[in-house]
Amino acid sequence: MNVRLRRIANRGFTGASVLSVVLLTAALLIILGPMLFKGTTAVFFHGTVEFRKVQLHEFSRGDPAALAKEIAATEKAREPIYRLLDEFRRGIDTGRLEGEARHVYRELGKQLKHRKGVGPEERIRIRRFFRGLRNTLIDAYECTDKDEARALLKEVLSHAQDERLAGTVGERLFRMARDYQELLETFDLGKREEYAAALDEVQQAVRNLFGPEAGKSKVGMPPEDRFGAHRMDMVRRYADDLLYAETWVEVEKGRPLVKKRIPREEQFAGTTLEPLFGLFRDNVDAMFRPRFTVYWQYFLDDAVPGHYFGGVGEEILGTLTVTALAIAFAFPLGVISAAYLVEVAGDNVVVRFIRMSINTLAGVPSIVFGLFGLVFFVMLIQALSGGAHKGECVLACALTVAVLVLPVIIRASEEAIRAVPNSYKEAALALGASRLRCFVTVQLPAALPGILTGVILSLSRAAGETAPFLFVGAAATTDPLWEYAAWDWPWQQVQMLSYGAYDVAMNDRIAGMVPHQQWGMVMTLIGLVLILNILAILVRSRVSRKLRGG
Amino acid sequence: MSQSPEDSDRRAAAASAGFDRPLLLTPREDLLGYVGSLTGRAGLFLIAASSVLAVFLIFVFIAREAFLFFIQGETPAEIAEFLWNRVCEVFGSTAWYPEQDPAEYGMLALIAGSFYVTFGSVLVAVPLGLLTAVCLSDIFPFTLRQVAKPVVELLAAIPSVAYGFFAVMLVKPWLQETFGIPSGANVLNASLILAVMAVPTIVSVSEDALTAVGRPLREASYALGATRAETMVRVVIPAAHNGIIAAVILGMMRAVGETMVVWMAAGNAKQIPHPWWDLTESVRTMTATIAQEGMDTARDSMHFHSLFTIGLILLVFTFVLNTLSEFLLGRMKFRGAKP
């Protein structure tokens, strides 16, 4: 019995251990999988005609003639949608109708002034009479009861034959009344408010789908309004807004409200707008012309503020610049420190103190590096440049993160130098080489692959850090580094993948509308870090094979 | 003995190659070389001391800014009173309103926030990490270990902002929709992610400790008829306890010092969860406070100095933990060296 219990306990222990490894593997897959997979949608997707417009207008890419043809075709397909909307809006938007009626009245006044054969008194009389008509029409517009509205319209139209108004602008008023009379028969006046709210949603959805109406100026618009839905997943999302109304309904008392989707066809049943939705559904392809697109320039392009479209080229360049610069600072320091610790120093109090400092440095929280960079490097650059530079810049970022990766490089180099067999050194010294010569020509080359592994790993560490950059020069939107003159770039704020990934996830309202940009950014960051790590693993496995004598 | 011409030629060649020099010179004979090697050593030492300089500068500059937060006033009595009031306020109040007038700098809620997420993550990460280390050191065969190690290394390599992104974009809605938690950005979310981040540290350090225990102890235990579980739990793990405690401390340090994940996923609410065991409440940690408020605080304002005070607390805390872990690891090495 006791033996059985012990065996079960043993099995359980083994099982739990294996399970924890499986859990970790699962965690890795769960974390990496969605980010890498969803991130690829930033590069591979079905692009619509709007995407090609973006490419042509913002990046001067593509064939203008072919695109113009395509645009003409899509505009033809979109035209009925706009027409239906406009027609329906006329009945809903009483404010606009009233404005039009008032406008007609004013026009008539002007026209009467220049009309010959009409005396001032007569003029006043006509105007007063016309004002009455106008007010009746406005009443009819505002009226929510169908019969009453009909009666009011009839009253207006009964004066249609009035010869005083014949041949004047005034006749337009009767035309408007007649239009409205026709319109009245198509929908329920009591629901006008409801229709107006729903119509706003529909119009917004159409606006999001198609972009600004053809022929309208785009100057001064924020980038996200300049073009319509440029990818099919965006089309699908906005089409959902267009085709379905979402309402929150109370199913049970005291329970949270439940979301309910109503097809817009039901919402607008019986009105002139009803056919729009079927029309849209049947003509999506004609209106957008989707085509499978590989947007490899995503990794090169500059993005508009908010990353509504464009790529992450600027962030990649910023990250690479800062990390490369940081390694350039930290590498010599790190390798020489390691050489000293391994080759020269004995085991005394001073050396132990140095080692303790290295370990302490490795344990300092990254945000504290940020604070330090702010009060040391940023202030230093400010002071040295006499206030000419702001201090928060590429250089400050690089210096701060150089301090951060210094212990990583030292430890890796130390290990690599230690791993070189002692016989190498002894042979070189026996041949009469000096210590320095022996180190530079024999030990260092032998340790170089190991040191390289450490450098690659610290590159990946530096590229992934965010907190140290927060106060020393990371920015959500700046000009790309390549736009600065020769030696201006080290003094500029910089966009980086890591800070960018934070910003698009937390701060950026516009980026929240384009999830593929959020995932794309984080995918690029992880991709960069993973490539560096895999490289390091490969280098290390080659080294260990070599040292084993393979 | 007369010298043959070839002999003298050979000697001349040897002299020109420098082989006739004695192997060891006294400093007096080779003054230049002696001074050169000394300066070389000194130069190397100075470069190697750059990390000491870096640590020194970090402490000095953070402390200098934090200093102004505590020391205000003219006379010693004034200074002492101000200092006492400040310390009482910082460690005695949960009201953190640095931009209000009058400003309040109670850091208790922030410290509690850091404590909550750290403790939560350690609770998950320690069993997971320890069992994984056992698996890697004693259970898995070589080939499986070659597969499992990169998994742990990749977990360590993923940038913290990517973890935060994952927490915000996937874990947060998942917690909200599946469990009906009002806000998915809470202690639970941040702790889970931090646990995954701390595991690689715990695994690598404690695996080293377990391996360092060596075969003889294990074989002795097996020879007495113990199962593997008994050997590990009763013999190997107790023998490696210094290293394992160091591993836990290092994992804790990773969690305490982490910024991006807690900033993004812990909910940013300056409060102590109520009731205290409710892990679905949002908190805000010390690191997140620095990150949140450091960017748009006027330099040289009291608020700015207060952030450096938080930084100093973090720095001292991690320093103490680090020294402790080093002490433990040193003891482990000392023991391991003995047969």
For the stretch A288-318, pLDDT in tens is 888 898 998 899 888 887 788 888 999 999 9
Asked if the Cβ–Cβ distance from B319 to A360 is below 8 Å, we say: yes
Q: Which residue of A has its CA nearest to B131?
A: A17
When scoring A4, A28, A371, A437 by the number of chain B Cβ atoms within 10 A, the one with the most, hence best to mutate, is: A371
Chain A residues touching residue B210 (CB < 8 angstroms): none
Q: Is A363 exposed, middle or buried (0-12, 13-18, 19+ CB in 10 A)?
A: buried
Report the distance separating Cα A331 and Cα A173, nearest Å: 83
Characterize A182-203 residue by residue with b for buried, 16 or more Cβ atoms within 10 angstroms of its Cβ, and e for exposed.
Answer: ebbeebebebbeebeebbeebe
Q: List the CATH code of the domain at B107-337.
A: 1.10.3720.10
Cβ-based neighbour number of residue B272 at 10 Å: 17
The reported pLDDT for the residue numbered B338 is 42
Domain boundaries, chain B: 28-70, 74-105, 107-337
In a 10 Å sphere around its CB, with 0-12 CB exposed, 13-18 middle and 19+ buried, how is residue A85 labelled? middle
Q: Convert the pLDDT of each residue in A230-251 to its tens digit.
A: 888 888 888 888 888 887 777 7
- Mean pLDDT in residue range A83-91: 80
Domain ranges of chain A: 2-40, 47-81+195-299, 85-189, 313-547
- Report which secondary-structure segment, H or E, holds B174: helix B172-179
Contact at CB, B311 and A367, closer than 8 angstroms: yes
Strand, coil or helix: what is A249? strand
**Would you place residue A223 in the very low, low, confident or very high pLDDT band (cuts 50, 70, 90)?**
confident
Q: Is A208 on the interface with B (CB under 8 A)?
A: no
ipTM above 0.90, yes or no: no
CA A278 to chain centre: 31
Contacts (Cβ under 8 Å, ≥6 apart) of A207: none
Mean pLDDT of A456-484: 88
CA angle A310-A314-A320, nearest 5°?
A: 145
Sequence-distant (≥ 6) Cβ neighbours of residue A42 within 8 angstroms: A295, A298, A311, A516, A517, A519, A520, A521, A523
Mean residue pLDDT across chain A? 85
- What does the pLDDT average to over B162-184? 90
Residue whose tokens read 């080359």: A445
Residue A148 has pLDDT above 90, yes or no: no
Of A340, A403, A502, the CB nearest to B48: A340
Q: In chain A, what is the greatest distance between 2 CA atoms, to the nearest angstrom?
A: 127
**pTM, rounded to two decimals:** 0.85
The mean pLDDT value for A324-341 works out to: 93
Q: pLDDT class for B335, splitting at 50, 70, 90? A: low
Confidence of residue A481 (pLDDT cuts 50, 70, 90): confident
Residue B201 pLDDT class (50, 70, 90 cuts): very high
Least confidently predicted of A368-377, A536-545, B35-44:
A536-545
Q: pLDDT band at A263, cuts 50/70/90?
A: confident
Cβ contacts below 8 Å, chain A against chain B, sum to 247
**Contact flag B227-A466 (C-beta cutoff 8 Å):** no
What phi and psi values does residue B96 have, to the nearest 5 degrees? -110, 90
Q: How far is B81 from chain A (nearest CA, A)?
A: 28
A248: part of which helix (H) or strand (E)?
strand A244-249
* Closest by Cβ to A10, choosing from B228, B260, B290: B228
Minimum mean pLDDT range among B4-8, B38-42, B119-123: B4-8
CATH architecture of A313-547: Orthogonal Bundle (1.10)
| CA closest to A459 among chain B residues | B157
Q: How confident is residue B339, by pLDDT bands cut at 50, 70 and 90?
A: very low
